[in-house]
Amino acid sequence: MTPEQILSDLIKINTVNPPGNETSAAVYLKQIFDDAGISNEIIESEKGRGNFIAHLGEGSKRLLFLSHTDVVPAGADWNDNPFSGSIYDNTVHGRGAMDCKGLAAAQASAMLNLARNKTPLNGTLIFAATADEEKGGDFGVKMLLDQHPDKLRCDFAINEGAEEPVQLGSKTIFFIQVGEKGTAWSRLVTRGKACHGSIPTIGENALVKMVCSIKDLSGYKPEIILIPEVKHLLTELSKIKGFGATVSPENADELINSLGDKSLSETLRSMTRMTVSPNVISGGEKINIVPDLCQAEVDIRVLPGQDLEYVLDELRKFVSREIEIEVFNYHEPTFSTSDTDYYRLIEKATGEVAGSGVICLPYISPGATDSRYLRLAGISAYGIGHMASGYDQSVKETVHGKNERIDIPSLKLRTDFLIALAREYLA
């Protein structure tokens, strides 16, 4: 089956999470893998929360194709029904086309192709289309690793992840996601003394204290840190831009600002430092009461190498001792080095399908995917966002937005890449 057929069918199956209902997508995949004679199973973490896993070939080398079948809610104002899966303009339309049913369809199509052609595999290719990625993976990859670790055991995994390719001058750059920043969601608390709003000087206004402390925090200038992969990425971009080959923390921002692609520049900026964004504030109950409590939630993202202690030390430089700081949700950053044969094979397979003029560069994602669970379990995981040349760049904004879609040449390129990679590694 072609990846566009599979994708169109998957989009028609509503797997908006919550509630997910991923079993319905797993049952569909089971049918097409059964028809192809590929051994497979559905593992539910809870009724309706199905994870689909298939195995092809056998042997000690193990490569995992990972994707997820749940999607985020569609929202309003689409041009088409978000669950139509309609195909026109050489494009498949609907929620999940980019994130992540498109990759699931390409991975499924690649596996079916390898089975149909009876490609000899000196190892095991595993396909896993899992539940619950969009809500943290508890019913998907996390559960599988906790309860059925053998099912996903592999040497390395290909998952969703990296930014789509960009064109810089005459070069096309494909990104390979090697790591993901961690989260250190924090709460700031200020306390004061309540009193009547008509004589505010009797009390102590917690809200005013908080606003001052957020203003202090807005002056935070994070330390610029170039982990080796990011330094390599920036150095290559610098060469393409004719900036010279030496990139350092001192000149990194100058290079980043010169790229002329806002989305790429700001993503690169986030790869070079901890980010701090106060996004929620709550305090005060009534217009005539001076508030004695105010809370703010700050979204903090950390690089590999930056731990909880680093976060607290950094915040304390800008937030006075009087303010309470609590990190209420911490996920450590995760990282798979690019200095592996796996990474080099991904580069090679990309070159085979996208042309030798394409450059692959490593990428650290500001956000997280299920790859983090694999890395924490000791498995190398790499994310791809491969797209065909000339793809419509505006599709990037449709991820978690409206009118999500993917063009058929990109689906085919991903399928061909996955086939090439499986052949290379498991030949």
Report the interface residues with Zn ion, using CB under 5 A: 99-100, 160
C-alpha 401/C-alpha 399 separation (Å) is: 5
Per-residue three-class SS string for 24-77: HHHHHHHHHHHHCCCEEEEEECCCCCEEEEEEECEEEEEEEEEEECCECCCCCC
- Work out how close the CB of 248 gets to Zn ion at its nearest, in angstroms, rounded to a whole number: 34
- Work out how close the CB of 367 gets to Zn ion at its nearest, in angstroms, rounded to a whole number: 9
- Work out how close the CB of 232 gets to Zn ion at its nearest, in angstroms, rounded to a whole number: 26
- Work out how close the CB of 369 gets to Zn ion at its nearest, in angstroms, rounded to a whole number: 6
Smaller CB separation from Zn ion, 100 or 379:
100
- Work out how close the CB of 253 gets to Zn ion at its nearest, in angstroms, rounded to a whole number: 30
Smaller CB separation from Zn ion, 160 or 164:
160
Smaller CB separation from Zn ion, 160 or 292:
160
CA dihedral for 352, 358, 363, 365, sign (positive or negative)? negative
Question: Under a CB-based contact definition with an 8 Å cutoff, are residues 101 and 69 in contact?
Answer: yes
- What are the residues facing 276 on neighbouring strands? 300
- Work out how close the CB of 56 gets to Zn ion at its nearest, in angstroms, rounded to a whole number: 24
C-alpha 203/C-alpha 206 separation (Å) is: 9
Chain position whose Cβ is nearest to Zn ion: 100
CB atoms within 10 A of CB 8: 20
Smaller CB separation from Zn ion, 100 or 294:
100
* Two tokens, residue 268: 């690169």
Q: Cis link prior to 19 (omega < 30° from 0)? A: yes
Smaller CB separation from Zn ion, 241 or 400:
400
C-alpha 193/C-alpha 181 separation (Å) is: 39
Smaller CB separation from Zn ion, 74 or 420:
74
Exposure b/e, 298-323, CB count within 10 A at least 16 = b:
bebbbbbebeeeebeebbeebbeeeb
